Structure 1
Amino acid sequence: MTPTATYRLQIQPDFPFAAAADAVPYLASLGVSHLHLSPVLEAVPGSGHGYDVVDHGRVRAELGGEEGLRQLSATARAHGLGLVVDIVPNHMAAAPRHNLALWEVLREGPESPYARWFDIDWEAGGGRILLPVLAGRIGEESAGFEIAARDDGTPVLRYGDLEFPLREGTAQLPLPELLAAQHYRLAWWRLARTELNYRRFFTISELIGVRVEHPEVFAATHGKILELVRDGVVDGLRIDHPDGLADPAAYLGRLGGETGGRWTVVEKILTGSETLPAGWAVAGTTGYDALHRIDGLFTDPMGAADLLGHYRDFAGPPGDRGGYWTATVRRAAYRVVTHELAAETEWLTRLAVQVCAEDPALRDHAPWALHTAVRELLVRVPVYRPYVTAGGPLTEVAESALPAEAVRDAKAVFSVPQEAEAVDVVRDLALGRLGAGPGQAAFCARFAQTASALHAKSVEDTAFYRYVPLISATEVGGDPGQPAVSPEEFHAFGARIGRDWPGTGTVLTTHDTKRSGDMRARIAVLSECPERWSSLVARLSTATSVPAPDPQLAWQAWQSAYGCAAMPAGETAGRLEPALLKSVREAGLFTSWTEPDPAYERAVTDFVAAGPGGEAGEARELMTRFADALAPFVRANVLGAALVHLTMPGVPDLYQGTEREYIALVDPDNRRPFSRPPEGDDEKAALTTAALHLRRERPEVFGGAGTYVPLTARGTAAAHCLAFCRSGEVVTAVTRLALRLDEEGGWRDTVLSLPDEGPWTDLLSPGSEFTGPGVAVAGLFARRPVALLVRAAPGQG
């Protein structure tokens, strides 16, 4: 059954299955149909997120084990709710002590039956797998090794809290010989960048990729989840990072066959006008494509452009502080592909060299030229990855992942045209054009996997933190270079997913969003008052006793502080400081995770404490007055985005706590344990409950093709009203760009055309009734900036 709405809970040791069961009556009262749980399988002890799975055959004991999960399911079902569970097919934790499969590979080497579980380039490692876990070079760390015994007497090698198996017959060797005799090589953590020989999750060496394309690996890693599905404990699945898989389409087809077609959505980030591959056996995405469109509705295009100009003037033109989005992304991509993903690039080069060596027509392409071609094409892939298999059909969509202009620009870096032909070879390899041999197949899959990692790291985790004129636009799936979305664009998107993917997920806030939906809605108002914001930042800069270490940080820190203005008193500094430290480390302009600059980071924390995070003083007073003045327009954005999300095509997923106004920064701030909101009137909570109950009571209105029809407003302020009708029975109408509307004189003669005369009742304003076919928008929004109209039943009204 397709859910009518889901509610995401971050299950963790501090909020286990029993705590979730206690929350079920409240969550059922909201009107959702399913609980959406973060990963539930056995993970690294103490993990707060569960994506570091160590055993696919067991439900996590720290959460209450399988008995606890089954009891939660029973409690949910007793209250009319089902369960959707997040699963992680792409990777496991590279923690040998806890990961039995990896332990056996380290102990037995490539002959282990588990060796096929992982993408390991044994040849590149000289027959060994590199484990970059040491704090320093091995010669400096040798004193930290000891041979110990497990409880069963099995000898092991220990290094601090880490534990590694020993190859049979090596326990009695002297330490240097013992280390050399293993199927693994312990190494300084910094070597991961250039010498790693196993596939990982993005650039996180602690997460090792899993080869679920092999049937036996799929069976072993999905057995427990499929058992829970067959037993009716789990009703649907969310698939984490399918772009990391060798063949996402084949994997999803196999999974859909095993689950009997249960509702499944994928965490697929679609770029620009990219659409989900039509052949995937899923209901749709987890909803970042919808998030971008909803956010964009409440962003002023002209104001965003003006804000960019003010940002450039304030932050200065050099490099990544210049405010040019495309250039920022390209520089970030080069940085990631030549540093963090250097080992992956070398792996691809080795594969390309091997294929060329086996083909006389390709044999004289130099390794350096192939390496350059790999790098230059990777940084020019405009989407996350191509979807193609070696020897398979080459679709227009697959070819668009490596367009002709990317080939042309990649060739331009070569000084000799004949050497530039290496680009054509690499493109053909990446698109599977050179047959279906093992080398071609390996390169095709590996290129796609590396492209997705590069795109994620260079855009989401680097460029988004470097390009900050309007930080509400720097969200997963977004386009900071063009942050605004017109009503016409939104309507086209709504009609398309209503037709093609009616069961797709939609979201505003997730465990991965850099800022909560309500925080972004607040910051988006700045696009409507760029002059006022720029003037405020100038005044704030002189009102703060400690200067910012650089203007780019100051600009985003003050925007973040404005976004946090609704946080409870006393919490801002403690939550803002770690988020901004993460921002400057991810940006990598002045400090980074791997090359930290303590002096710069100390300057960041001193500035935050004195200014953006301060609870008193002139700067705080200036920010408070500014925030208070914009409060009515923030209200319109928050309520408008929430209502659009809850009533547009797709299945809305509510993140824990977002039924009320929810202000949160990047993780771990947004992954705190769930707590039931306090009792009392709350405008957003009332809206959420009304919309969710309507979806649950009348699912036929919100599902299926042809149920979404845009509505037209006429008059002076028509552009400020977005409205649509679902199945001729329910109308959503919201105010957009409310500050501009106020400055332009309000609604005046604006009229919204309804599907028919009605009468129509506004569920958000009890007692309010409207008769079509045209209704004055000023009257429609007299009590609040949004309306949810329902056609009165025959005999009513």
Structure 2
Amino acid sequence: MTVPRSTLRLQFHKGFTFDDALAHVEYFAALGVSHLYASPVTTAEPGSRHGYDTVDYTQVSAECGGEAGLKRLVEKLREHGMGLIVDVVPNHMGVGGSSNAWWLDILEWGRHSAYARHFDIDWHSPDPALRGKVLMPCLGAQYGNELAAGRIELHFAAQTGRFYVSYGPHVGPICPIDYASILQSAERADLNALAERFQGLTTQPADQPRAAEAGELLREFVAQNGRSAIEIALANYAPGEPVTRERLHRLLERQHFRLAWWRTASDEVNWRRFFDISTLAGVRVERPEVFDAVHALPLRLYAEGLIDGVRIDHVDGLAEPREYCQRLRQRLNDLREGEPYVVVEKILGRGEPLRGDWPVHGTTGYDFMTDVGALLHDPAGAEPLAATWAELSGRSASFAAEAMLARRKILAENLAAELDRAARALHRIARDSITTRDFTFTALRRVLTELTVHFPVYRIYPQNGLRTEADNFYFNQALAGAKQTLSPADHAVLEQVDAWLGGVADDPTPARPAGNAQPGSNSMSFNYAGSSRRTAQTLFSQLTAPVAAKAVEDTACYRYGRLLSRNEVGSDPGEFALSVEQFHAANLERARRFPHAMLATATHDHKRGEDVRARLAVLSEIAHDWSATLRAWSTLNAPQRRTLDASASSLDHDWAPGPAAEAMLYQTLVGCWPPQLSPDDEAGVKQLAERVAQWQLKALREAKLRTSWLAPDEVYEHACRDFVFDILAPQRRDGFLRELSALVARISRAGAINSLQQTVLRLASPGVPDLYQGTELWDFSLVDPDNRRPVDFAQRRAWLVETPPSDFLPDWRSGRVKLGIVQRLLALRAHLPALLSEGAYVPLAVKGKQAAHVVAFARRHGNAWAVIIVTHLALGLLELDEGNDLPLVDAAQWDDTAVKIPSELTSRALFDWMSTAAPKVEDHGVLYLRDVLATMPVAVLVEDGVPRG
């Protein structure tokens, strides 16, 4: 078995190891998942909680249990007929601290390091201070201040015989060509003799073995004679005195790295980062030797049968995603029989197809997450909620306008160095031709800026230097936007940039004589215009992708608050709702093109738990009431606001948290208020306040308005935190806390129906349903690290029983009914695997008085059928039955509403896997909802004779 029936995502780290997972394998098997889906298992930075900061691609993480622990886990999984999918991170490595041997070698030997071409480093920076060097932006303050403060020190590692400088956890190896001067500074005969062994060294690869031999002699000397002589040499570079500090500075200036204040990275970094994170360096996996080094471990694990497939992290960061996927798939195919399961983490815009020439099974499920999330929203709420948001916040009602501002800010402040690098690549092309040499760097940068800010999706994927028709659909939108905002004087430059970025075929003639070739931005010299254009296209794609991610997901989504349930990774908050017909169309397309793509509703990256979003979606059904509530709460809590120095802010308010942040805070509280929390529970409310305050700090900094990660305003942040704790203080139990809990109580039942609806849709739609750790019960988590808290698997195991989920509906606040639905539908997928993994998707017509409140479809494979029916937009129907405390529409409310059943099923007996119901198909081929949804808000109907628990 290679293609999973279902997956369960686990986040491994030193607090949750392979052996910890092994202890719960029986539970995972009983739940019904076929594969565990692991976070990266390679060695990451010490203490990493996520594993995406890989420092050694060749070793399984010792903190997670090492390869022996991984094998124990896999052995246990195999005993239960289960498999393992692992997360592979080919785009970047962790380069903070002192754990990445590849990066340290580069810092030591510069462009002559054996790993110099493993990373995207521009060794030919226009800044003379960075030519041949790597910017090391790790200092907490300006270089001169940190040097004078004694925080940058020279050390000697006795176990390796090497000199290095340290700054906190960061290490910069000293190049061995400087060892002679360091040793000679001690003015000792024994060290002078050792210094001679380092004389005449160069950084050339041929000299590096000699340096290693000399370093071994130095190590042996210290081992035999102690450190006293070395300490004399180190004292001559101590930062405490002006003379020795100047000597240390001159030594640092000769190294292949340049220590710098961390804030300089956005403007000056000369290597590709993961987004704007200066501790994650981009890897050139497009180079065959780098591909082999990066994938040696997962390929071996696959060859040995330990894993069944891979999830590729951030595929859009790679130079050539198509070629990468093709190479990876071919390598996996060559290793063993069977079909390897391969999915890619890819954010798709609405209507953007995953490219068909990528040999993968699909995406990791963000596209499904936004589809089902939008389905839960009432489109009637879009305009009134947008108007209320604009009125209260003073910001635009349009998310597109907010995103445009964010894109410009990210380009100007966070990714300016990346923009410069892409513009330089275009400028080099311009200089290569007499017809374009007068296009200035500044003009090209202006044009590139406008193309980037108007680019509607993550990136383009040219083939042989030419954009495809699919690329042009989006590139032309950016082109039109750029043309509108640029001066007419720049239109000729824009037209030429359009051509260079794949609008016309490459010119195969030499751009300049080979002897005059200019160094390319990817550490190579190019003699042909085509190669230079491909480099520019790659840099453009590696610019638009992080700009989209940082501007939309990590900025605008924290600024725009029409309804936070639509502000999710992979979603466009400007798209408020999806009709039932549109949802069916998306499922039909997925079934046709990528029937084994992952289906997710929660991930390790989500901004709000799936049940937070499901509850908040209910507010779209009462848009006017919610708008009035927001205004009332704003007035009620006005006394708790903190007055600030208005002169310190460019915003039009002088109080914390400010109108936009306050409105978002209320939504967050409504969304994540635990179902069983009472406003009188002081400890429980305080615990909630701590979680929300943690979320708020991250949200405020990501918004980059009054405060940010680059320039934190701690006075404002503390004032916002105080506001949270004040409005949730015990003395508010008869005021705001009572009103908050009352609003939550009003919408919670409808929110629970939304949650059960999206759970069933995920488990029954075309694709491979993915379950994020712990979300089989209610998931009211917020953004990480809140969504990565420890999971009580023992409780979940104890709650697994072979009874219908309807038995637990009366106790719906515990979440056990959700667990029952997950268990039941995974059992159905195991019992009839072809039905839900390969079966046709058949939308079903609904008629009658409440037809707008139903989603129905069937899955068919051969003679086997399943009919799926879920309650939709339920709040209005629930409120017609005031005495009901269940998340269940009273049967009488359905009136004549019925689902039209395929003719093949009219003579068959159907039974509900969600309850004990056996609704009758009427003679005219319909199922009445008053029968189907009498005991549960969702139903999955199959024929009699199927094992049901």
Counterpart for residue 900 of structure 2: 753
* Residues 144-167 of structure 1: CA deviation (Å, up to 9, x unaligned): 222112222211111222211111
Q: Which is worse superposed, 305-314 or 353-362?
A: 305-314
**Rounded Cα–Cα distance in structure 1 between residues aligned with 2:671 and 2:834:** 38
1:284 is matched by which residue type in structure 2? G
2:380 and 2:589 map into 1 onto residues whose CA distance is 27
Structure 1 position 581 matched with structure 2 position 652: no
Shift of 1:360: 1.9
Cα offsets for 1:269-310 (capped at 9, x unmatched)? 001110100100100000011011111111000113222222
The one of 136, 143, 146 equivalent to 1:141 is 146
Tell me the residue number matched to 1:408: 480
Contact persistence 1:122–1:197 (CA under 8 A): yes
**Distance (Å, rounded) in 1 between the aligned partners of 2:712 and 2:834:** 55
Deviates more, 1:450-459 or 1:393-402: 393-402
| Cα displacement (A) at 1:539 | 2.8
Task: Quote the Cα distance in structure 1 between the aligned partners of 2:582 and 2:538.
Answer: 34
1:777 to 918, 924, 929: 929
* Rounded Cα–Cα distance in structure 1 between residues aligned with 2:624 and 2:131: 61
- 1:647 to 2:780 alignment: no
Instruction: Flag structure 1 segments of 5+ consecutive residues without an equivalent.
Output: none
Report whether the alignment pairs 1:787 with 2:926: no
Tell me, yes or no, if the aligned pair for 1:561 and 1:613 is still in contact at 8 Å. Answer: no
**Structure 1 SS opposite 2:67:** helix
Q: Within 2, Cα distance between the matches of 1:492 and 1:80? A: 34
In 1, Cα distance between equivalents of 2:410 and 2:944: 57
Cα drift, residue 265 of structure 1: 0.6
Partner SS for 2:164 = strand
| Residues 599, 768 of structure 2: 8 Å contact kept | yes
CA shift, 1:432, in A, is: 6.6
Between stretches 662-671 and 706-715, larger displacement belongs to: 706-715
* CA distances 1:708-736 after superposition (whole Å, capped 9, x unpaired): 00011101111111011011511111011
CA deviation vs aligned residue, 1:645-683 (integer Å, no higher than 9, x gap): 110000010001111111100001001233315234511
RMSD over equivalenced CA pairs, Å:
1.8
1:700 equivalent in alignment to 2:834: yes
Sort the Cα spacing of 1:48 and 1:96 in 2 relative to 1 into closer, same or farther, 3 A. closer
Give the letter for the 1:707 counterpart.
A
The aligned counterpart of 2:133 is 128
Mapped partners of 1:795, 1:338: distance in 2: 61
Q: Which amino acid aligns with 2:578?
A: V
Matched-pair contact (CA < 8 Å) for 2:821–2:914: yes
CA drift of 1:781 comes to 1.0
Corresponding residue SS for 1:362: coil
Query: Do the aligned partners of 2:460 and 2:467 also contact (CA within 8 Å) in 1?
Result: no
Aligned to 2:858: 725
CA distance in 2, matches of 1:252, 1:406: 27
1:246-274, Cα deviation, whole Å (9 max, x unpaired): 00010011110111141011110001110
Which residue pairs with 1:507 in the alignment? 600
**Structure 1 Cα separation of the partners of residues 382 and 71 of structure 2:** 49
Q: What secondary structure, in the 3-state scheme, does the structure 2 residue paired with 1:56 have?
A: strand
- Cα distance in 2 for partners of 1:394, 1:600 equals 47
Give the secondary-structure state (helix, strand or coil) at the position aligned to 1:144.
Answer: coil
1:219 maps to: 292
What amino acid is aligned across from residue 731 of structure 1 in structure 2?
V
Matched residue SS, 2:766 = coil
1:763 corresponds to 2:913: yes
Residue number in structure 2 paired with 1:552: 660
Which of residues 738, 741, 744 in structure 1 aligns to 2:874? 738
In the alignment, residue 551 of structure 1 is paired with which amino acid? P
Distance in 2, matches of 1:119 and 1:641, equals 41
Moved more, 764-773 or 235-244: 764-773
Q: Report the Cα distance in structure 2 between the residues aligned to 1:94 and 1:350, rounded to whole angstroms.
A: 25
The residue aligned with 2:104 is 103
Pairs within 5 Å for 1:229-628: 229-260=302-333, 261-316=339-394, 321-389=395-463, 391-403=464-476, 405-417=477-489, 419-431=490-502, 433=504, 434-435=506-507, 437-544=530-637, 545-547=639-641, 548-566=656-674, 569-570=684-685, 571-611=687-727, 616-628=733-745
How much has 1:623 moved relative to structure 2?
1.0
Opposite residue 6 of structure 2, the aligned amino acid is: A
Q: Which amino acid aligns with 2:695?
A: A
Cα-to-partner distance string for 1:590-617 (whole Å, 9 max, x where unaligned) = 1111111122111210111112587834
- Deviation readout 1:342-387 (Å, 9 max, x if unpaired): 0011101111111111122221112111010111101111110001
- The aligned counterpart of 1:176 is 249
785-794 or 369-378: bigger deviation: 785-794
Kept in 2: contact 1:430–1:448 (CA 8 A): no
2:554 and 2:161 mapped to 1: Cα distance? 45
When Rg is computed on C-alpha atoms for both structures, the one with the higher figure is 2
Aligned 8 A contact 1:304 1:528 in 2: no
CA contact under 8 A between 2:465 and 2:530: conserved in structure 1?
Answer: no
More deviation in 95-104 or 201-210? Answer: 95-104
User: C-alpha offsets along residues 753-778 of structure 1, whole Å, 9 cap, x if unaligned?
Assistant: 12222211001112434325211112
Match of 2:276 in 1: 203
Asked whether the equivalents of residues 368 and 599 of structure 2 are also in contact (C-alpha less than 8 Å), the reply is: yes
SS in structure 1 of the partner of residue 914 of structure 2? coil
TM normalised by structure 2 equals: 0.81
Question: Does 297-306 or 63-72 show the bigger shift?
Answer: 297-306
Residues paired across the two proteins, number? 788
Pick closer, same or farther for the CA change 1:407–1:8 going to 2, 3 Å.
same
Q: 1:116 is paired with a residue of what secondary structure?
A: coil
Q: For residue 202 of structure 2, what is the aligned residue in structure 1? A: none
Query: Does the Cα contact within 8 Å between 1:759 and 1:792 map onto a contact in 2?
Result: yes
Compared CA separation, residues 413 and 661, structure 1 to 2 (3 A): closer
The secondary structure found in structure 1 opposite 2:762 is helix
What residue ranges of structure 2 are gaps of 5+ in the alignment? 183-246, 334-338, 508-528, 642-655, 678-683, 800-807, 809-815, 881-891
Listed one character per residue, the Cα deviations across residues 184-228 of structure 1 (whole Å, up to 9, x for unaligned) are 111111110111100000010110000000000000111011100
Letter aligned with residue 558 of structure 2? Y
Give the 5 Å matches for 1:42-53.
42-53=43-54
Report deviation, 1:427: 2.0
Do the aligned partners of 1:345 and 1:371 also contact (CA within 8 Å) in 2?
Answer: yes
Residue 163 (1) aligns with residue 141 (2): no
CA shift, 1:472, in A, is 0.3
Separation in 1 of the partners of 2:878 and 2:42? 51
Percentage identity across paired residues of the two chains: 39
**Is the 1:511–1:671 Cα contact (8 Å) retained in structure 2?**
yes
Could you list the per-position Cα deviations for residues 57-108 of structure 1 after superposition, in whole angstroms to 9, with x for gaps in the alignment? 0000001100000110001111111001111000000136211111111111
Q: Which amino acid aligns with 1:291?
A: M
Cα distance in 1, alignment partners of residues 783 and 826 from structure 2: 27
Match of 1:187, SS state, is strand
Question: Separation in 1 of the partners of 2:436 and 2:296?
Answer: 44
Aligned residues of 1:328 and 1:466 also touching (Cα < 8 A)? yes
Cα distance change on mapping 1:431 and 1:540 into 2, 3 Å: same
- Partner amino acid for 2:722? D
On the 8 A contact 1:473/1:479 being kept in 2, the answer is yes
Distance 1:432 1:674 in 2: 51
- Worse-matched range after superposition: 608-617 or 56-65: 608-617
Conservation of the 8 A alpha-carbon contact between 1:398 and 1:431: no
What whole-Å deviation, never above 9, does each CA across 1:382-425 have from its counterpart, x for those lacking one?
11000114x3453101112311x4323323444343x3211122
- For 1:565 and 1:749, how far apart are their aligned partners in 2? 36
